[in-house]
Amino acid sequence: MTVASRPGRRPGRGAWAASAAAGGQVSRHPLVVSLLCLVSVVALVVGDVEAHAFPDHSEPRVGSTVDTGPGAVQVWFDGELEPVFSTIRVENDAKQRVDKGDARVDAKNGRLLEVSVDPLPSGRYRVYWSVVARDGHRTEGDFSFRVK
């Protein structure tokens, strides 16, 4: 039964009338409406989650203690990065920058973000990263490591 044929309904009012005018039928069953809303929300959330690039692993590893300072800090991500908008920096406990300022996305591996560092003395270091995935979504974070 279309909405327009229902007794007591006035045509020309709201979405019900628009659907009826288009020759369609409108389901008033709450389960159908609820399921359609749920499917729409899930599709939006899943699409949004897949759009971000998140760290996969790093060298030095997150929270690790290394015997000697690395020559570079590297973070691999689970998606391709936009080189122009992706950054990484390394700071010591005094919040002084200790990297060489040459942060880059690797030319051969678009999922690798790295920055060179001079030999690091013993101490704690924090790595701050901010990346933009190829589809334009930004993620950022930080982690620490220690040199013995």
Distance CA 126, CA 69 (A): 13
Q: To 5 degrees, how large is the angle CA 140–CA 141–CA 146? A: 150
Domains of the chain, first to last: 3-50 (no CATH), 55-147 (2.60.40.1220)
Instruction: Give the model's confidence band at 52: pLDDT under 50 very low, under 70 low, under 90 confident, else very high.
Output: confident
**Does residue 88 have a pLDDT over 90?**
yes
Give pLDDT tens digits for 15-39.
434 444 555 554 566 655 555 555 5
**Does residue 126 have a pLDDT over 90?**
yes
Which percentage of the chain shows pLDDT scores above 90?
Answer: 64
Average pLDDT over residues 142-148: 98
**Strand 138-147 relative to strand 65-66: parallel, antiparallel, unpaired?**
parallel
**Does residue 135 have a pLDDT over 60?**
yes
Pairwise pLDDT comparison (1 vs 116), residue with the higher score: 116
